[in-house]
Chain A
Amino acid sequence: MISPKDKAVLLKFLPNDDILTQCMHCGMCLATCPTYELTKLERSSPRGRIKLIKYVAEGKLELSNLFAEEMNFCLDCQACETACPAGVQYGKMVESARVVIEHSNVGSSKINKVIKKFLLNSVVAKHSRLKLLARFLYFYQNFGIRTIAIKLLSIFPFAKKMIEIESLTPKISKVFSSEGLKEITFPENPSKYKIAFSTGCIMDIAFAEINFDTVDVLQKNQCEIITPKNQVCCGSLHAHNGEIEKAKELAKKNLDIFSEFEYDFLISNSAGCGAFMKEYIHLFVDDPQYSEKARGFSIRVKDISEFLANIEPNKQMSPLEEKVTYHDACHLCHSQKVMEEPRKVLQQIPGLNFIPLEESTWCCGSAGIYNVTRHDDAEKILERKMKNLQETGADVVVTGNPGCIGQLKHGIEKYGLKMEVLHTISLVKKSMDRNI
């Protein structure tokens, strides 16, 4: 039977019975679940996983490696939440099950758990260390070392997978956005909106240009932009990977830092971060010290496309003739329910030839760090996305999340497509730049 220690963890972290009972197992989620589509096994489906979590919570099923495997196999794409008419909070359940797994003896080996914990809690969570690592990576990627390393490694057959995963490492930016951006950027025209800008961690070091583009477009749309220097990781990667305590610690830091500024909206251009920052309000609902702060914070969080779609935009844009398609990042469409807005923003670009993407809301397999921790599964998920992308015949695929950008670039290279991957805001910027 379950050990007393495990039981204590279960009861502390698993959601309450009302949340677990809400699933009436009608099965409407099955058709939207990428992992169920792969295995066709109920245990890889949302309703199957919920049932397993419920059995564990009731002490009728022991924590097992298979249980851990299914919880970690889940992409946490939350497509099932969009499909669920009953409003079941699946993400909450699976994330809490992961916390329990991280505290237990099941799942990946102790050493793997320690490495993952170290990377998440001591590197990603400490932005200075992440930047240091990024500097090394930049050096590695840009001074011929990478080329030599790959050549050397490719001699060994066992290193094939390593090289494949290595190729997923995002290309590190020369100048990090946290260093290239001023703490306050004033607009070109009189200021109408006061914006706080969340730079994100991966965005900052690997997609700095997207951050520069974001600030640039905001600046041209009458925004005064505050970019707090000491902001930290939002904690979403931690929360999705069973490190909820660390996630809360980071969230509190951000709440304190941003509360020193006054702003109308807090803009994020990373779907995963935006989704989690909107969650702060629920995360601290019972915390007397932070609940008010979290409320004030979360209600102001807007994805960049959400903000742009709801203002009178700067119309100084010139035509772009590319064929463009749009991939919905899970954390934008399923978690934040932001679907119309990015499309509206794209349609404001004159001359744009927009081609809808079949199954645009189907996960690309990036899913945070899933494409690294579960590379083989992610590759299978990616295959379906690539097939649909190829059918559009588009020149550019636009999306709103750094993880998706990386994964799509990897897929395009792997499948030999001729397609550029851009963030929504970068395409807007491109159209604005041509005007000059």
Chain B
Amino acid sequence: MQPSILEKIKKVVGSKHYYDSPEDRISYSFDGTPMLQQLPEAVVFPQNNEQISELLHLANKEKFAIIPRGAGTGLSGGSIPVENSIVVVMTKWNKLLEIDSANLTALVEPGIVTGVLQKEVEKLGLFYPPDPGSMNVCTIGGNVAENAGGLRGLKYGVTKNYVLGVEMILPTGEFLKIGGKSVKDVAGYNLKDIVIGSEGTLGIFTKILLKLIPLPTKSKTITANFKKIIDSGKSVADIISSQITPSMVEFLDNTTMNCVEDYTKIGLDRNSEAMLLIEVDGRGSSVDEDAETIVSILKKNNAVQIRIAENAAEALLLKTARRSAFSALARRKPTTILEDATVPRSELPVMIEKVREAASNFNVAIGNFGHAGDGNLHPTCLTDERDSAEITRAHKAFAFIFNEAIKLGGTITGEHGTGLAKKDFLESAVGKEGIEFMKKIKMVVDPNNVLNPGKILTLAPRCEGALPVKREQIPDYNAHH
């Protein structure tokens, strides 16, 4: 990028909020996604709506790209820079502006950390259910952009079910307000559902209005282990068909369980093939009845070691352990490529088998875990980014898994988004017409393709950062060792 353009960008946000050192560019060249990286030209922290709008005007005029970013914990590469781009970081917009207990809403800035918001509303007996694994770090803005899910999706739905309105700056610099506190609102197109999950390609959020619900007063957390993986799948199917809706039904296979146990040391059974973590919540005695029914279903399906958490602290420990699963798998191998193929719930046992098949067919280690209750699995390839042959095999294994998921009536991503990581597979999930429709929307809203280009839809540019090298490949390394 020309220095004169960078100067103009600096002038918009002020030199105190502008960073372009190599150190800053490197540390904003990646997010939570494995192996993808690209240096941005600069990193900026805008202070107000006007600055964001000006940045977008400038981008349209000078033809550079803008990459919006929250905490950078995304898993599909949504916030990774592309060539000739600047990163716009929203983490300092982290105020909780209003909790309206009469209408059960919360108005927040997009940079507020999901877990922080949850703690605040829970103090008032209210509840914001979406709980992605990274909830203690990730931001609401990022959650809305990715339409993030979480453990409680089964009963409570995902982020989109809690967004009442957004305020945003469009790619061409205009301010747009969508929705409001009314529960019902059918004025015109449902624009909200287009911008939720738009992965930062249709606008930068500046305020978000969220729906809250009353906090359940009672919950029971149950874990069960299975000697045979198939029994865990059958248990999930039986629980769903018994017309109980637990708040979570989480699945961990043996590999995942062992890595989690290495980290948390909370006494998970290292020898069984699979484990389920189930929580029922609500108000009153129905919670106990549901828990009893679930325990009897688990027993019927040959569960061993059924454990009911004795108190809230123990329940939290178990759930926190589950949330660490993805990162804990990196104990086995440094590069963990995680996907979130999702199938209709009834097909879950088949899908678990297909993942095992992929691992053996393509000779890769796969740790499998996920939100069994809603059919959203996270098969994770345990690889080493420095081993290109293994990475190729991992990609083949995922192509196979995606294909199988779609054949079963599922999709390529349940909650992580398409971003850079899955755009090659998007057509197989949504069809040619689906992609064309999305492209048309993008081209009208962002005619110069300046906002987060190259994501979801294969519009140039591509992200191609330098690939990692082994130390042995560094000249002179061997001379010193």
A residues with a Cβ closer than 8 A to B are 7-8, 11-12, 16-18, 21-28, 30-31, 40-43, 45, 48, 51-52, 55, 57-62, 64, 66-67, 70, 84-88
Contacts and interface: CB of A to CB of B under 8 A. Distances in A.
A58 B474 contact: yes
B138 to A, nearest CB: 8
A34 to B, nearest CB: 15
A84 B327 contact: yes
B245 interface: no
Contact of B21 (A30, A55, A66): A66
Given A21-B385, A85-B263, A85-B328, A27 B72 contact: yes
Contacts of A41: 19, 24, 27
Contacts of A8: 476, 480
Interface residues of B, number: 56
Interface in B29-62: 29-32, 34, 45
A24 B34 contact: yes
A27 B89 CA distance: 15
Question: Which residue, A8, A18, A24, A84, has most C-beta atoms of chain B within 10 A?
Answer: A24
A27 B139 CA distance: 12
B470 A25 contact: no
A413 to B, nearest CB: 31
A28 B327 contact: yes
Given A27-B137, A42-B24, A58-B474, 20 more contacts: A17-B471, A22-B334, A23-B334, A26-B32, A26-B330, A27-B31, A27-B134, A27-B138, A31-B115, A31-B137, A41-B19, A41-B24, A55-B26, A61-B26, A85-B259, A85-B260, A85-B263, A85-B331, A87-B330, A87-B331
A25 B476 contact: no
B334 A24 contact: yes
Given A17-B471, A24-B335, A67-B23, A86 B28 contact: no
A30 B26 contact: no
Contact of B136 (A24, A31, A86): A31
A50 B398 CA distance: 29
Contacts of B113: 31
A84 B137 CA distance: 13
Contacts of A28: 73, 134, 136-137, 324, 327
18 contacts: A8-B476, A21-B384, A21-B386, A24-B336, A25-B32, A26-B32, A26-B134, A27-B72, A28-B73, A28-B324, A28-B327, A42-B24, A43-B24, A58-B471, A62-B22, A85-B326, A86-B329, A88-B330
A28 B263 CA distance: 14
Contacts of B330: 22, 24, 26, 85-88
B92 interface: yes
A22 B384 CA distance: 9
Contacts of B389: none
A99 to B, nearest CB: 14
B477 A11 contact: yes
Nearest to B74: A27
B480 A11 contact: yes
A21 B471 CA distance: 10
A27 B34 CA distance: 12
A27 B27 contact: no
Interface in B441-481: 466, 468-472, 474-477, 480-481
A286 to B, nearest CB: 12
A59 B336 contact: no
A27 B262 contact: no
Contacts of B472: 17
A30 B480 CA distance: 34
Contacts of A11: 474, 476-477, 480-481
Contacts of A88: 330
B92 to A, nearest CB: 6
B71 A59 contact: no
Contact of B30 (A25, A40, A64): A25
A338 B378 CA distance: 33
B258 interface: no
Contact of B470 (A17, A55, A87): A17
Of all A-B residue pairs in the complex, the 5 with the closest CB atoms, nearest first, are A86-B330, A85-B327, A17-B471, A42-B27, A48-B27
A57 B137 contact: no
A43 B327 CA distance: 21
B27 to A, nearest CB: 4
B225 interface: no
A76 to B, nearest CB: 19
A294 B27 CA distance: 38
B221 interface: no
Contacts of B73: 26-28, 30
A64 B137 contact: no
B87 to A, nearest CB: 10
Nearest to B335: A24
Contact of B32 (A27, A45, A70, A84): A27
Nearest to B475: A59
B23 A58 contact: no
A21 B34 CA distance: 11
A325 B474 CA distance: 51
A21 B262 CA distance: 19
B91 interface: yes
A16 to B, nearest CB: 6
A100 to B, nearest CB: 13
Nearest to A21: B334
Contacts of B137: 27-28, 30-31
A87 B334 CA distance: 10
B469 A58 contact: yes
* Residue from B89, B138, B334, B470 having most chain A Cβ neighbours under 10 A: B334
Contacts of B384: 21
Contacts of A58: 468-469, 471, 474
Nearest to A67: B23
A41 B29 CA distance: 13
Contact of A52 (B23, B31, B138, B334): B23
A42 B72 contact: yes
Interface string B6-34: 00000000000001011110111111101
Given A21-B384, A24-B34, A24-B336, A86 B27 contact: no
Contact of B92 (A40, A55, A66, A70): A40
B466 to A, nearest CB: 7
Contact of A27 (B26, B71, B92, B385): B71
A6 to B, nearest CB: 12
B480 A61 contact: no
Nearest to B35: A24
Contact of B27 (A12, A21, A22, A52): A52
A397 B157 CA distance: 44
A43 B19 CA distance: 11
Nearest to B19: A41
Contacts of B136: 28, 31
Nearest to A12: B480
Nearest to B89: A40
A239 B466 CA distance: 33
A22 B327 CA distance: 10
Nearest to A45: B27
A233 to B, nearest CB: 30
B66 to A, nearest CB: 18
Contacts of B386: 17, 21
Contacts of A48: 27
A282 B227 CA distance: 38
Contacts of A66: 21, 23
Contacts of A70: 23
